[in-house]
Structure 1
Amino acid sequence: MTPPHDPAYGTAPTGGWTPWGTWEPAVGRPVPAAPPVPAVPAPRPLGPGGIAVVVAGLVIGMVLAAVVGALLLRGAADDAGTAAGEAIGQAMFGGVSEDAGWYADPYAVGGLGPVEQTDPVPPGELGPDPVLDAYAQECFDGDLQSCDDLYMESAPLSDYEEYGSTCGGRVKAWTVPYCTELD
């Protein structure tokens, strides 16, 4: 088949590229056949044993990745935790004594030293709870265990809790961890 052409330019070419970007063989020449493409064999399906091997390999790979990741991150996390703890200890307590070791509680080694105590203060009206009122009165009367009980059983930020934390007005709030330590 020859493409249409303008007679002013002569006859149509025989063979070669056409103006439309296709190849036309020359008249009388056979078109060479493309080489055969080798057939790709279809994959064999995995049996139950093959699936088990693949799953076991995946599980072992994930476990190994987790172990390696944990080992790599462990050292960095320990260093970060130690640095954060030291910074907090420095900010809150002005540093941790060497005697305290890893425990930064100021009460743990030698306490805070002597605690300034004053005479107890009457509880007054702390709230509507008769049980907590009884603890407050016993705390004022000198039963320091009642002061601790009042602190532990009262609602956070309540007047009961504040009175218990002062051991009945004997110390500043939260100066001692337990009022029974004043004995």
Structure 2
Amino acid sequence: MGQAAARRAVKVTTTGDAPAFPVVAPHVVEFAPPRNIAIGAETPWGVGAPLSRLLPGTTAVRLGADDLAGASDPAARVLDGSGGRPLVLVVRDAHRHSWIADALARTLAVRPDAIVVEMGVPVAVSGGMHVATYGATRACGQAAAELIAGAAVPDRHQRALAA
């Protein structure tokens, strides 16, 4: 039941730079905000693990504030390991953490074709393709991964923005 609800909740917004689904073996970068009482170390979240199961060859890295602290070019650190493959940027609470918003904006300036997956409450649409999951549970990550791997997106959950 939870997985079905997560699939129904996903909303995809695209611009002129949107990649086509399915993508092939992407590089996934998950921006990990600080843990809190609601989401601790034991809480599974993200898209890297489920996407790796669906698309063999997918690589994933999770970056925290300390990983990008002092970087003169956060985008270079984020893009490290992508090798020109499709790029999936996973954010949670980007509107609450300036380091996430900054790294996301700088990375999208270099790779506007990246897929942005926003886990939790979506605040701003960014990237060529923006996937809002409206939650950060394992089921939400699985639902986003299925879309990226080629599952059909219901028409009522798609919106195109002018490029």
State TM-score, norm by structure 1: 0.20
For CA contacts below 8 A with separation 6 or more, give which structure has more relative contact order: 2
* Structure with the greater alpha carbon radius of gyration: 1
Structure with more helix by fraction = 1
